[in-house]
Each structure stands twice: as C-alpha cells, then as structure tokens.
Amino acid sequence: MRRAVVFVLVLMILLPTGFASASSFNGWLSLPGSISVGNVTLEFTDVSLDGVLVGTAYDGSSYRDLSLRPGEGLTVRDVVVRYVRATAAEEPLVFLNVTFPNIVEGETIQLGDYSIELLSVSSKGAKVRVSRGNESKDFTSGKFTFGNIKVAVSAYPKVFEGYLQRGQNVTVSNHVLTFTNATVEKSPDGFTETLYFKYGGEGYSVVVGKEADIGPFHVKAEDLAGVEYAKVTVFFRGASLDVEMVPDEAFSLSPGQTKNVGPYVLRYDYRFDGSIRASLLNSCGAVLATSKLSSGAVAASLYYKGATVILDGVEDDGKAAFEVFLDRSRIPDVSRVANLLIEGTATDGKRYLPMDISFRVKNTGTVALSNVTLRFVPGAGVRAVSGSTMEVSLLKPGQEKTFRVTVMPMDDGNVTLGRLVADVVAPFELACGGYTRLTFSSNAVTAYVEPSRVAYLLNASWEGDPVTYHPVTLRFIVRNTGDVSVPANLTVSVPEGVAVEPDGTFESYRGGLVAPLSLGPGENATLSVMVIPYSPGKKTFRVALNTIAGTVNSSTIALDIVSPTGNDTVVITRTITVTTTAPSNGTVTVTETRTETVPVESTVTEVQTVPYTPATSKVVWTVIGIVIGALAIIIFAWYQAHRS
C-alpha cells in the first residue's frame, strides 16, 4: 500500500502543472501610435532615417524613454515588444511583435487606431467590441476581421490542469490563485473532500467533484491525494486575443505591370540591384509620386494622400510582392479609375520552332475602355510570327479577353520572349480636360527554350556533255540530318555564258536560282535543273542551303566547257567539288571535299560552227525573213507593172 502511495505522489509531481497562455499582436503600426494593455502604455513617436524607434513607456507608476533598433526588444511588466522593421516615408510605419496577458471581462486594450473590449465571456464563447474612430462593431465568432485587423478570440482558455501542492499558485498576469488547504469530513453519505483557495485576499472553497468561479478563474475540483495534493483544472474567465494587422491589399506584380489601389494606379517601373522603383499614378496616367522601394529592416515606402505602398520582397524572376494600406479619411473621393491588368504566360519551347504566348487582358478599373490597341514587343533574339498587333473596340469593367501571339526564338536557354503593351483612349471623364492616351504593359514573359540542331546533307552532281550548246543536268540531293523542321532555300549561282531551261522547280533569284524546301528530320529531296552553256571556259556553280540559322551547307560544281572545232575527238574533264560548311551551332565542320576528273570522248562531225540561238530569237528572225520576202515580191510586181 505504501508503495502505491509513493508511486501516486511521484506521478503527481511529474504531471504537467500549467499551460502558457498569452495574447499577441503582429503587424504594422503607423506613427505616431500607441499600444495600451492594462496599466502599461507604450507610445511610439518617430523613427529616424537609420531605423531607431523612439517613444515612451508607462508602467502605471513611472515613465521612461525608449529607443529601439530593428531586432531589439523591450519588456514592460507583462508586455513584451519586439521591433522588427520600419519604413521611412512621409507617413512612417513600424512592424512590431507584441505579447501581452489575456484580458478579462470589461477590459479594453488599444492597438494603434483600434480598441478591443471584452464585453462578456463564458465557456460557450466571448462577445467582443472593436472600435476605430466613430465606427464600432460587436463580434461573437471566434475569428473576424474589422478594418485592417484580423482577430482570433480564444474564450475561457485553460491555464492549468494537473495536481497542485498545498501553497502553490496558478498565475495569469497579475491574477494569482492559491491552493491553501484541503479537508476530509465524514458525512451520512460517506466522506466529503473540500479544497480551499485564496484570491485577492478572499477565501473560497470547492467540493471535490464540483466546480466554481473564483475571481477571474473557473476551478474544477477533480481529486484529492491526502491533504497535500489536489487535482484541478483551472480556466481563465477571460480571453486570449491573437491580433494581426493586415494590409488593404496584398498582391504581386512583374516589372511594367500595373494595379489599381483605391483611386490610384500602382505601377512597378523596374528592378535594380536589391530594390525596385514604383510609382503611383492618377486615373489619367500622370505620375503623382515615385519612390525606390526595398524590403530591408529600414526601407523606403511609397506614400501619396492616404495610400502607403510597402515592398514585401522580390523573387529571382523580378516579381515583387506589395502590401498597400489605405487611410480612407485622407484619400480624395475619386470613384472612376482606368486600369488594364495584362498577364502573359508561355510554356517551354525549342529554338527555331514557333511557340505561342498567351496574354490575359482584364479591365480591373471602374470604367469601360474603348479603342484598345495591343502591340507585342518581342525580346532580343525573338521574332514575332503572328498576332503582334490586335485591336479591341470595347472592354467593360471586369471583362477580360485572351490573346495569342506566335513567336520564333532564335536563341536557347532562359529567353525573354517579350511583353504586350496596350494603348487606350482615356474615357472622357478621366481625360483631365483633353485627349489622353493611357499605356499599360504586361509582365516580361520568359520561357526555357531547348537547343535545336539545324543540319542538312547536300550532294551536288551533274551529267551530260560539257560542250557549248549541249544541255547539262545539275542534280542536288538534300537530306535533313537535324532534329527540327525549318524552312530552307537551295540557291544556285549561275555563271556568265550559261542559259537555264525553266522547269518550275527553281525560280530566278538575284542572278541565280532558288528552290524552297520544307523537310522534316530524316526526310530528303532530289532536285535537278538543265543548263546550256553557250561560251567555253570554266563554269562554276555555287550551291548553298540557307535557313533562319544561316548557311548550313554549301558546295560547288565546276564544268570545263569546250567548243567543237572539227571531226576531232575531244577529251573533256568533269570536275565536282563538294564542301560542307557551318552547321547551326556556328562551328565549321568540313564533311567532304571531293574533286573528280573523268575523261569523256566526243567526236565532232560538223566543220562549220553553228551558234546556238534561243527559240524566241529563231521565231523573231523567221518573221523578219517572211516580211522581207513579202516586200521583195511586192516591189518586183510593182516594177513589172510600170515597165509594161
């Protein structure tokens, strides 16, 4: 039996003896501002350019000055303050973490411009009244938002559960409950165990198995071990408050994008090392205020007539997170705002292949916008294929449209594809007394572009007799050995002294020939053209394959053209030179260089040299001959008639 008692006592000592319970406040506080909890009042008056926060602390009996740097803290009785960061501007703000005791019925705390009063509390919940200026509202729910504060209320928090030794206390802030004694009395129904407590100089008793209110505490008496240890659960007849100061708006923008905030338009101008520049514009697009913003411990904010813009952070891709606080009492009454939110997205692509960019254009203002002109501005190394200019006759508030732009990236890696710019005629009421055009921009759309290999195999050859006025066929075999299908042109330079027989495959181009090709990877094509040399000598045909990546292959065909002079056997040499040049990656690679000389015997049976005359010339001379012959007959007939 004694061992059991000892075990119970050890267990009682090891059991938890209480719960940490406190209220908190986290968020921005405008200066000058104050926090008041119980007998403690903290007044914050100003912040210096280097971030030193100054003010006064009052603990109910004395005053003292305070001076804090970012990261430092201050404790006044049960109120603990940690100073996190500040914004230096016309209307400075400081970010604070504050913990303070739970409040009881009828108690009011002050957090900046807001006051929170606990009207009533029970095990079923609490009733809270929140006020700011002339506005107030009562709440009974556990979580609510009023203005810029978000509040979570925990009513009747449990502050202790376990065994209390006689003489031990349960303390919440300056409220102390003491377990003073316990008795066991015999009654007709058995034994009655009673626990005795003291609060505020008054004594209270609770029978084991019962519960009772003792000052701000609610005590449940559960068990008694001897007369030294009592098992109890203690609740605080108040509430813990978790208060967070939230901005009126929180959003992210990329450089060039805009967002309407109240009656103004916030424009993210550009990013530079460690900070950004942003501007507040009016409804006509005129700049009202501009500032450099950063997110350090002491940072500059952007302020204009009731609107405070804070930079919360910048991502690696330049997208910036903003928080905006609006003081409605200082904002001019303007209800008509023009704004277009333009967002562009694109999936990954491949170099030299067309890819699409999707742009979402939404009228986030309060007025309809007409005559909207959308212009796509491509990034460096990007070609617009289609959809670079679009028109929208009318875009109502809240209405959005999606547009698609097709581009071709000429580079690989992380590529900035471009942005969409909108020019809008300002509505009459926002035109500031005249014709005004507003300009809005999207984010710069980026995507990863895979490398492409553009490569073609080119084989050039010829067949026929390289003798003047004899036809020679030039033949070209082209094969796509790359991994993409891009348009290509096969060009052939035609030397002097050579005529070309049109065949529909090649077209004349800058004194030579060109044939368009479209081959998928692994596909090939064979092209040929007939040429007729009409003067002797060396005739060199230069052949090239040109794509958007440049000249990817080239070769030459050299013909030694001779003229027949009699019934002689002429030895003719045929020379072919094939040279492969730069592929798409810019590295020169020679794949084949071949010179082939072939003797060809040709017997000439005519003594007189007959020049080659094109068919059109033959027709002309035939007509001239007929006309001359007819004239001769007419003249001869006229002469005979007059003679007789």
Q: Hey, which residues does 153 pair with through a beta bridge?
A: 241
Do residues 435 and 336 lie in contact, with contact meaning Cβ atoms separated by under 8 Å?
A: no
User: In sequence order, what are the beta bridge partners of 145?
Assistant: 150
| CA–CA separation, 5 and 361 (whole Å) | 77
- Residue-wise pLDDT for 360-389, tens only, equals 999 998 888 888 999 999 999 999 998 889
User: Mean pLDDT in the chain?
Assistant: 83
For residue 21, what pLDDT is reported? Answer: 57
323 phi/psi in degrees, rounded to 5? -125, 135
Check residue 429 and give its pLDDT. Answer: 56
Taking 60 as the threshold, does the pLDDT of residue 511 lie above it?
A: yes
- What percent of the chain is predicted at pLDDT more than 90? 60
pLDDT at 614 over 80: no
Predicted local distance difference test score (pLDDT) of residue 300: 86
Q: How many CA atoms lie within 13 A of 491 on its CB side?
A: 17
Q: Which residue has the higher pLDDT, 277 or 227?
A: 277
Residue 607 has a pLDDT of 34
Q: What is the pLDDT of residue 170?
A: 93
How much is the pTM?
0.58
Q: Phi and psi (nearest 5°) for 28?
A: -85, 140
When pLDDT is averaged across residues 85-107 and rounded to a whole number, the result is: 89
pLDDT value for 633 = 39
465-501: per-residue pLDDT in tens?
899 999 999 999 999 999 999 999 999 999 999 999 8
Residue 571 to residues 359, 469, 474, 563, Cα–Cα distance (Å): 69, 17, 21, 12
d(Cα 260, Cα 339) in Å, to the nearest integer?
6
Tens of pLDDT, residues 149-166: 999 999 888 889 999 999
Query: Rounded to 5 degrees, what are φ and ψ at 173?
Result: 55, -125
344: Cβ–Cβ under 8 A, 6 or more apart, which residues?
357, 358, 359, 360, 419, 420, 442, 443, 445
- Angstrom distance (rounded) from CA 543 to CA 492: 5
In which residue are the tokens 């900035």 written? Answer: 416
Bond into 32 cis (ω within 30): yes
Distances (CA, A) of 57 to 54, 65, 115, 622: 10, 6, 19, 119
pLDDT at 413 exceeding the cut of 80: yes
Q: Is the pLDDT of residue 391 over 80?
A: yes
Partners of residue 375 on adjacent β-strands: 389, 421
Q: What is the mean pLDDT of residues 107-124?
A: 92
pLDDT higher than 90, residue 354: yes
Write down how long the chain is.
Answer: 644
Residues β-bridged to residue 250: 323
Residue 452 pLDDT: 93
* For the chain, counts of helices (H) and of strands (E): 2, 55
Q: What is the CA radius of gyration of the chain?
A: 47
State yes or no: pLDDT of 527 exceeds 90. Answer: yes
Instruction: Count CB neighbours of 336 within 10 A.
Output: 13
Rounded CA gap, 405 and 458, in Å? Answer: 35
Q: How confident is the model at residue 589 (pLDDT cuts 50, 70, 90)?
A: very low
Residue whose structure tokens are 């995507």: 447
Name the nearest CA neighbour of 84 among 47, 111, 114. Answer: 47
Query: Cα separation of 146 and 137, whole Å?
Result: 8
Q: Are 276 and 320 in contact (CB under 8 A)?
A: yes
Asked if residue 474 lies in contact with residue 466, where contact means CB atoms within 8 angstroms, the answer is no
Location of structure tokens 């017997």: 603
- Give the model's pLDDT for residue 431: 56
Distances (CA, A) of 303 to 124, 280, 291: 44, 8, 9
3-state secondary structure of 446: strand
Give kind and range of the element (H or E) at residue 375: strand 369-378
Query: Where is average pLDDT lowest: 190-194, 259-263, 424-428, 613-617?
Result: 613-617
Asked if pLDDT for residue 30 goes beyond 70, the answer is: yes
Question: Strand 537-547 and strand 125-132: pairing?
Answer: unpaired
User: Using one digit for the tens of pLDDT, what is the confidence trace for 558-585?
Assistant: 999 998 765 544 444 444 444 444 444 4
